[in-house]
Structure 1
Amino acid sequence: MSQDINCQAIAVCEPQCTGNSHEICNSGFLYVLSKAMPDRRIVFFANPEHIAAIKDCLALANLETNNIDYLPIRIPKTRVNPIEVVTNLIFFYRLLTNLKTRGINNLILLSVHSGNLLAIKILASLRFKTYKFSFLLHGIMEFASKRPSLYRCIRNPSIIWLHAFKYVLNFNKKLNMSYISLSPFNYNNFIKARILNVPLCTIHHPLIFKSRPRGHNNSQVNFAIIGQSHSGNFLKLVNELSESDNAACYNIFVLSNKLPIMRTAERFKFLANSKRLQRNEIDLYMKDVDILIFLYEKSAYNYSASGAFAEAIQYAKPILFLENDHLAYYNNLSNLSIGKSFTCIEDMANEIRSIATNMLIRKEWQQFAVNIATIRDSIDPVSNIKDFQKCLNI
């Protein structure tokens, strides 16, 4: 490849995730990037297992990305303490030097935390001053938005380093760096709380949207719990639905490996057990799911996008959820409801029974699925390429 062509290339790196962690978000981002920049090569650096997971996602969706080159690398271990600055300095010095030899002067980071951001800022200040950087903001922003209590800091000192991300963000703001929020709801919260004083833009959580046949049959309704559910809310739901109800024909699949396994809970099918499900397994189970259940706390995901909810949009599954501001934002988007919110577990449990036994209520939920398909089209990054391009610092 000539030097001129190399100058047109775009470098992307996943410096933190391995295996199938964030594989849907990252495969979606790479796919949209390839469509937004069809005439430019994209060089993707990542853990070998993560690259395999990305390729599996794209293959599963029958999508081609002919302008992406996959380069496996050994990523630094996340230590959640200042030592990771040193390991990231070494890692990114090598990576940026590699890019320099290729004639590439830009880099998009698909994950960011205190250690790698500070390392990049140090290197950009000293040696790579002409480089352009973009960073996707994930769960680390939940820590940047709050001040930890002294008790939490004493009990778990690594908390201090997580919360330090806010100060790292605002260190040396003269560098050519921009940050990408993965939800307009989070973006609005950043602005209101005045957390960031850096170049910031927003896109909807990137996904690979696919048409999905409904897994519904008239005799049985299948619910599923996904995502980082609050364990206390989960146990309350198990207790509420523990009484045998022969008139209600339903199952609740538990696709999260973070929740306690309750073998005595008749309605609950623990499909993940203690392991993280692979993408092909999730894809298979989702075909038989009618409605997704979210058991978040009210303030969860105020400053970061919920990947599990994004999957509900991808698979066009209506949602039952406890009051949560992030989910409520999307439930009111375009004045089209995609599910129902509940103030307590008891009301949610009653709705589950009603859906399973009442055909009229079940038809209402089928309409929610139609609404999701409409909303999905409006937030699909592929349909909003120009907005996506504006967020890229390249």
Structure 2
Amino acid sequence: MIKLISNEKGVYMIVIADLWMCDKNHVPFNAAMVKILQGVFKTEKISFFGEKKHIDNIRSFIGSDGNISYHEVSQIKGGKIKHVIRELLALYNLLKLVAFCKKKNVKLLVLLYMYPPSHYIFELFRKYFFQNQKIIIVLHGEVGWINEKEVKHRKICGCLLKSALELKKKDKNLKYITLGEVIMQNIVLNMDIQKELLISIDHPYIYSPIPSRLPSFKPLSLASIGTADLTRNAHLIFEVGQKYKEYVDVGLLKLEIIGPMNPDIGKYANKYVAYCKTNEKLSRLEYENKIAEIDYVLFFRDNNQYTMRASGAFFDAIQFEKPIIAIKNDYFEYYFKRFGNIGYLCENIENLYRTIDYILKNKPLAEYHEQLNNIRRAKENLAITHIERDLKNKLVI
């Protein structure tokens, strides 16, 4: 366990920062991480650095501030060319952190997210600017880009991230958090990185009780949740719509995308799947209300996408107690083995069709009860109190 002690009254001992995310992005994850770190370091003072709206959303998400203070940084929303501006702002904010850490005698810096280019630059120069701090960096979905073969900017980012992670063979002041045991195993298999640098925890999520709901199967309601884009194979829901269009037309089946739909799957859209045409994120309340009304959640990612990346939407399904119908991948298979029948894992899209056929025909209510019970058990086992204890035991730097 890290022991951080200072005799100087009022010193901020720990800094948590997300210098990239804006507004609602990553709020459930970052809020959960803040709660976990507050629990791990109950007696320490904590400062959180982030964009103003992002901070506001986190504070409303977790409620009481406790032993934490907040500090605003400049950041903008947007993609493509704005990525360059966002990276420059992130690097500028890192320099501000250098000054803050030195002035306040900070002992631990936790970076909740880093985009690969700034991550690479950070690793190159970290020893010059953060000599006296222990560093924890959370690895997100971009780590999966190290095997990217098609999208150019992801190939570049994957190379930069791989280089960053392989720079340090041993470092007593550095740890990376991976969001799942299977992800850590696959990182070790795919990179020249020392396993001692890695910590595995379950994806943090603040779970809450929800009203009990059983499906009527009239109609059977299936949805893809979270961001819908090609990297998630979300375009396949439109193939499902095309195949089952007769069922949709007569009201026996309802298909929906709950969350923003990226332009890269717009060409696949059809009238058999409901989706948000504005490409804007739903409010959290709208998102939750829509998920509450569905019967099952659909996931289409296979092992090309899920060998080294977690799924926040998977944990949304657990929170809202929705059984899962998914193409098999290492990540989902790990949790199905761990918690039992929480839905249906399908070898391929044809097997997924057979699963939908089975549900339409049999309306398996008894099996649905079993799935709900296992999902509720998963919620208990994945609670942040358990993750807090797990992280506390592993956090030896």
- Mapped partners of 1:298, 1:384: distance in 2: 26
Residue aligned with 1:17, SS = coil
Number of equivalences: 379
1:174-206 CA deviation, whole Å, 9 max, x = no partner?
A: 552110001111012123334422611110000
1:128-157 CA deviation, whole Å, 9 max, x = no partner?
A: 31111100000121123x2x55xx5xx836
Residue aligned with 2:8, SS = helix
Work out whether 1:167 is the aligned partner of 2:167. no
Which deviates more, 381-390 or 369-378? 381-390
- Mapped partners of 1:74, 1:193: distance in 2: 35
Stretches of 4+ aligned residues off by more than 6 angstroms: 76-86, 245-248
Structure 2 partner of 1:310: 315
Residues 300, 326 of structure 1: 8 Å contact kept: no
1:88-147 CA deviation, whole Å, 9 max, x = no partner?
A: 543312212022222223210011233322333344322431111100000121123x2x
Work out whether 1:209 is the aligned partner of 2:207. yes
Work out whether 1:371 is the aligned partner of 2:374. yes
Structure 2 partner of 1:32: 36
- Mapped partners of 1:90, 1:121: distance in 2: 15
Structure 2 partner of 1:66: 66
Residue aligned with 1:337, SS = coil
Residues 117, 160 of structure 2: 8 Å contact kept: no
**Per the alignment, do residues 206 and 15 of structure 1 end up closer, same or farther by CA in structure 2, a change over 3 Å counting?**
same
**Per the alignment, do residues 121 and 243 of structure 1 end up closer, same or farther by CA in structure 2, a change over 3 Å counting?**
same
Structure 2 partner of 1:279: 284
Work out whether 1:340 is the aligned partner of 2:347. no
1:34-71 CA deviation, whole Å, 9 max, x = no partner?
A: 22222222211001121122223335xxxx34222122
Q: How far off its partner does 1:222 sit?
A: 2.6
Structure 2 partner of 1:97: 99
Task: Look up the equivalent residue of 2:51 and give its one-letter code.
Answer: N
Residue aligned with 2:246, SS = coil
Q: How far off its partner does 1:280 sit?
A: 1.9
1:46-57 residue pairs with structure 2 within 5 A? 46-57=50-61
Which deviates more, 296-305 or 381-390? 381-390
| Structure 2 unpaired stretches of 5+ | 1-5
**Per the alignment, do residues 393 and 113 of structure 1 end up closer, same or farther by CA in structure 2, a change over 3 Å counting?**
farther
Residues 113, 162 of structure 1: 8 Å contact kept: no
Which deviates more, 89-98 or 323-332? 89-98
TM-score, normalised to structure 2's length?
0.84
Task: Look up the equivalent residue of 2:174 and give its one-letter code.
Answer: M
Residues 202, 382 of structure 2: 8 Å contact kept: yes
Which deviates more, 118-127 or 25-34? 118-127
- Pick one of 264, 271, 291 that aligns with 2:271: 264
Structure 2 partner of 1:383: 386
Residues 11, 45 of structure 2: 8 Å contact kept: no
Residues 85, 118 of structure 1: 8 Å contact kept: no
Q: How far off its partner does 1:249 sit?
A: 3.1
1:1-394 residue pairs with structure 2 within 5 A? 4-7=8-11, 9-59=13-63, 64-75=64-75, 88-144=90-146, 146=147, 152=150, 156=152, 159-173=155-169, 175=171, 176-197=173-194, 199-218=197-216, 219-227=218-226, 228=228, 229-244=232-247, 249-256=252-259, 257-258=261-262, 259-260=265-266, 262=269, 264-265=271-272, 268-271=273-276, 273-334=278-339, 336-359=340-363, 361-392=364-395
**Per the alignment, do residues 182 and 220 of structure 1 end up closer, same or farther by CA in structure 2, a change over 3 Å counting?**
same
Taking only the aligned residue pairs, the percentage that are identical comes to: 21
**Per the alignment, do residues 179 and 351 of structure 1 end up closer, same or farther by CA in structure 2, a change over 3 Å counting?**
same
Task: Look up the equivalent residue of 1:192 and give its one-letter code.
Answer: L
Task: Look up the equivalent residue of 1:67 and give its one-letter code.
Answer: N
Residues 180, 391 of structure 1: 8 Å contact kept: no
| Structure 1 unpaired stretches of 5+ | none
- Mapped partners of 1:9, 1:116: distance in 2: 24
Q: How far off its partner does 1:369 sit?
A: 1.5
Residues 111, 136 of structure 2: 8 Å contact kept: yes
Residues 36, 389 of structure 1: 8 Å contact kept: yes
